[in-house]
Amino acid sequence: MRKLLFSAMIGGLTLVSCTSDDAPTPGGNEIEIPVNYTFERDNSSTVSYDGQTTRLQMTSELLSNFTDFDNASEELLLNMFANENDPFSNASLNESSKSVRSKVAASNIYFSANTVEGTQIKNDFDGFISEQFSTVKDNRDMLAEAGVAGQIAQGSSIRYVNEKGLELNQAFAKGLIGGLLADQMLNNYLSQAVLDEADNRMTNDEGMVEEGKVYTTMEHKWDEAYGYLYGDPSIPAGDPNSVLNESEDHLLFNYLGQVDKDEDFAGIAETVFDAFKTGRAAIVAGDYDTRDEQVAIIRENISKVIAVRAVHYLQGGKAALADNNMGAAFHELSEGFGFIYSLRFTNKPGTNMPYLSKEKVDMFKEQLLDGNGFWDVTPETLDSISEEIAAAFDFSVAEAAE
């Protein structure tokens, strides 16, 4: 059941901010764009993304255990991934009905009618965990070499790699940026199929809130997309860019900040945040054309973040290989591999398709891991992959490599 809270003229609804930029909508209502991501109804915040924060917390605890061979296990991490058998040290996470695994490769656009691939992707992440706590753990005290898992030095740090030189924790984490965060954000919650499902436009226009809540369904779906980027507890609610490059987030928000620091892509973080604010305000005003324009901006720029970091790490790996610094090279290439995995989940505006096809992404992964993998990969292969990615997203390899 829903409750009629305010009229189609949006009486009784306020968007709270110190200042705002107002723009008229086609229907005559003004879009009030707040300074921060702050929206209220009857003096109560209508912004809610607790489920996304929960999954980010689950991911953080899982990743912190990925190389703890003394205390963690395959069973523990698989349980964390699926949230089974009370695996978390944080009791509230164990009590949650949420899980990370259930939302991997689970978007409406890409996987609702493609469950075979969705299941395979979930199995890939299971496999990263299982291989880490079997082959890699068994060889953790051995020096890695071509075809043999083990440890490899990077300065004073020790990296643990499989027989291809791949750090499985990096493949898991960077792959999850696409497989969970980008897929749910770009291809699920920001899709018209989800935002406009059933009578969502009518109930939003009439201000009918969900039972027991203060937000409309469409408002909440938008907030859930926002939460996958800005939902880490270390990021201030409503004002994420105040801690850009300073939060404890290690997933997409972190890399949005890293790309924003590059002068060739400076301003991308503000562009994304402004689009989220404007789109949410447009929903309040019932301006769905403006909302959809903001979806396109978010899709383009979040997809670009993934592509830029893929090229950045491939080029960093190439440079380290030239210096014969294998530990640094394998670390960079492992991160690059994870971001390449994430390219599958990008969304090119106007297409509802990734910038690069599944077949192309699979080819890149095969090229990187062919033979003995990173032990054998050539500068020519790394350049070729980098150039194809950069061309698809309309930036240069040199811009991303800095």
Tens-place pLDDT, residues 43-93: 999 999 999 999 999 999 999 999 999 999 999 999 999 999 999 999 999
pLDDT at residue 225, rounded to an integer: 98
- Residue 296 and residue 350 in contact, taking contact as beta carbons nearer than 8 Å: yes
Calculate the average pLDDT of the chain: 93
Q: Where are the strands (E) in 196-296, listed by range?
A: 208-210
3-state helix, strand, coil in the chain (%, to 5): 55, 10, 35
Q: Of 28-32, 167-171, 389-393, which gets the smallest average pLDDT? A: 28-32
Quick: pLDDT tens for 349-397. Answer: 999 999 999 999 999 999 999 999 999 999 999 999 999 999 999 999 9
CA 137/CA 151 separation, integer angstroms: 10
Q: How many CB atoms sit inside 10 A of residue 248's CB? A: 12
- Which has the closest alpha carbon to 33: 24, 42, 44, 46? 24
Q: How far is CA 69 from CA 138, 142, 237, 390, in A?
A: 9, 14, 35, 37
* pLDDT over 80 (residue 8): no
Percent of the chain at pLDDT exceeding 90: 92
State how far Cα 397 lies from the chain centre: 22
Residue 133, number of CB atoms within 10 A of its CB: 20
* Residue in this structure with the two tokens 């027991």, named with its chain if needed: 212
